[in-house]
Every structure is written in C-alpha cells, then in structure tokens.
C-alpha cells in the first residue's frame, strides 16, 4: 500500500520472492530453521472460523508467513524511520469467510487519538478483480480497484469501554460542553447536530461511534482516491499482550467469478502497519508489497 512508482509490481514481486528464496536457501544449507513460506496460505479452519478471536487455538493450524515491512517513503508525508520490522501473518477459510491474523511487536499500546497522539493500526489490502495481473500496490489504479480493511486500536478501545474517544481523552470534561446537541431537546437535535457535529450529522464513518466492529472497509483506485466502501462488512478484534498486538480481520468471500476472493484460487494481499507512539498516521506507515495469497478449497 505504498505510492505508485515507475517500477512495475511484477518486478517488485519477483525481486521480493527471489530475495526470500535466496535467504531461505542459505538458512537451509546452514542447517537453520525451516524457511518461512513465501506466500500466505489460507487453509480451511478446523472447528470453526475465529473471525474475532486472535488467540483461538485454530490459528496454530495455519502456516505463518513473516512479511518484512518497508518504509512508505515515496509519497508525502513520508516515513523515514521504521519502528516495526516485520508482520507475522496467518489466514483461515470457513463459512464462506476469509480471516487474516496479523501479529507484530510494539512496546506501547496506543489506543487514544488527539491532535498530537495517534492510534496503533493495521490494514489488509486485496485486489477486487481475479487474476494475476494485480493493480499497483499503491491503492490500485483507475479501473482496477482494491479494497482495504483497516483496524485501529482506538476504535477497539472505544467499543470495549463503551466510551467515545473525546470522553476517554478528557474524562472530566462535560459532555454538554463538548457536544451541545447531546443535551438539546429532541425536536431541535438534528439542527443542533448539523451545527456542532457536522461530520456525525453527515454520516462520516470516521466521526461516527463504532457500534459493531473496530474495522472500516475502504476502496481505492489509486493514490489519493481512498473512500469508504458502499457496504461495511468486515469484522475483527485486536488484543495487546506482552509487547505484541495480535489482530484479526475477517470478511465474506466473493461469489462473482471475476472477483478475487474465492476458495480454490490464488490472489494477492498487502499489509500496512501504523505505530502510534512513533507518530505514524495517514501516509506515514510501514507497508508490504503484494504477497501471493492461496485460498485453499475445502477437501
């Protein structure tokens, strides 16, 4: 999910595979541990799909892919220092759904947002169309869209606590002083909401309180075109424990023959990670290129 460059994704993908293959070959020759898979393999889940349980025992049956994270250093605002080195990825299929589990090391649990502090977050990106000719990894290309599912620790904390972000940041602040429409009579609340909370009144997903899932579904056709998907279907959950985030994001599989996420086929996936304490936000993130994703059919 980086910025577009003149280098084709095919060249980047081939270089990445060759690099991983070379490293794996050296490790094997030296008698080291078994090489990490160079693809993400989504195997049929045993005993149910853990859509929102990052610590479910089922995940141990899924092969782990270790993705080396890159700096987003091509589009402003760039990131010039990597604070997370790698992302450990597992995938499972079940009940016509795909679930992805992502785990990474992070010394701090950043789950509040204001003007100077940012939330930890992770995103997974898929091409929308089937086939190996994937669009640019920088959020797709015109006429060749991608879908992106973003989980944020701040959204997770809001759901878990039942308290909105402003109240969590300023627990002693009066709600009426922050949102006057909240204390207004019902007859004038719509008018007051439009005046004092225009983003909420307009239905902006970034401003609305999370009531179901700490994940937002987005679509894009190139850098700068990111927008909410027509339907919000993904679910997920994150758990912070002993210096690590473990997050699941799950979404329904596709049914159209021309769509990418169907059991028994191969497509591609990409990831992005934000470390709030390192001032990662927006384009300031760590990312991967496209990684092959094998969706295994049930036996």
What is the spatial distance between Cα 198 and Cα 187, in angstroms, rounded to a whole number? Answer: 17
51-65, 118-132, 211-225, 273-287: the lowest-pLDDT one: 211-225
Asked if pLDDT for residue 118 goes beyond 90, the answer is yes
Output DSSP code: residue 127.
E
What residue ranges do the domains of the chain occupy?
A: 9-22+34-161+216-295, 165-208
pLDDT at position 208: 54
Neighbouring C-beta atoms of residue 290, cutoff 10 Å: 23
Look at 9-13, 171-175, 257-261 and tell me which has the smallest mean pLDDT: 9-13
The answer regarding whether domain 9-22+34-161+216-295 maps to CATH 3.30.465.10 reads no
**Averaged pLDDT, 199-227:** 78
Each residue's pLDDT tens digit, 230-248: 899 999 999 999 999 999 9
Is residue 260 within 8 Å of residue 252, measured between CB atoms? Answer: no
Mean pLDDT of the chain: 84
- For 27-84, what is each residue's pLDDT tens digit? 334 455 556 679 999 999 988 999 999 999 999 999 999 999 999 987 889 999 999 9
**Nearest alpha carbon to residue 268 among 153, 119, 77, 136:** 136
**What is the model's pTM?**
0.80
Sorting pLDDT into bands at 50, 70 and 90, what band is 181? confident
Predicted confidence at residue 173, as pLDDT, reads: 65
């Amino acid at each position: 999910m980086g910025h577009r460059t003149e280098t084709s994704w095919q060249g980047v993908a081939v270089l990445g595979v060759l690099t991983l293959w070379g490293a794996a070959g050296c490790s094997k020759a030296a008698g080291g541990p078994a090489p990490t898979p160079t693809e993400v393999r989504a195997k049929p889940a045993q005993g149910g799909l853990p859509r929102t349980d990052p610590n479910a025992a089922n995940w141990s049956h899924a092969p782990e892919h270790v993705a080396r994270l890159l700096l987003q250093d091509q589009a402003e605002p760039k990131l010039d220092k990597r604070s997370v080195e790698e992302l450990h990825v597992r995938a499972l299929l079940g009940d016509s759904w795909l679930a992805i589990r992502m785990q990474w090391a992070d010394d701090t649990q950043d789950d509040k947002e204001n003007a100077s502090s940012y939330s930890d977050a992770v995103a997974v990106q898929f091409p929308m169309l089937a086939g190996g000719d994937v669009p640019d990894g920088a959020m797709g290309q015109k006429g060749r869209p991608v879908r992106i599912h973003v989980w944020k620790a701040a959204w997770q904390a809001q759901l878990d606590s039942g308290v909105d972000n402003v109240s969590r940041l300023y627990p002693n602040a009066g709600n009426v002083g922050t949102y006057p429409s909240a204390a207004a009579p019902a007859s004038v609340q719509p008018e007051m909401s439009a005046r004092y909370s225009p983003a909420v009144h307009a239905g902006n997903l970034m401003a609305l309180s999370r009531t179901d899932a700490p994940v937002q579904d987005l679509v894009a056709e190139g850098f700068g075109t990111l927008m909410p998907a027509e339907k919000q279907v993904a679910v997920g959950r994150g758990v912070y424990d002993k210096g690590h985030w473990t997050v699941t994001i799950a979404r329904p599989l596709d049914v159209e023959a021309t769509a990418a996420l169907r059991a028994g086929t191969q497509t591609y996936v990409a990831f992005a990670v934000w470390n709030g304490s390192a001032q990662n936000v927006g384009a300031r993130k760590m990312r991967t290129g496209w990684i092959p994703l094998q969706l295994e059919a049930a036996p």
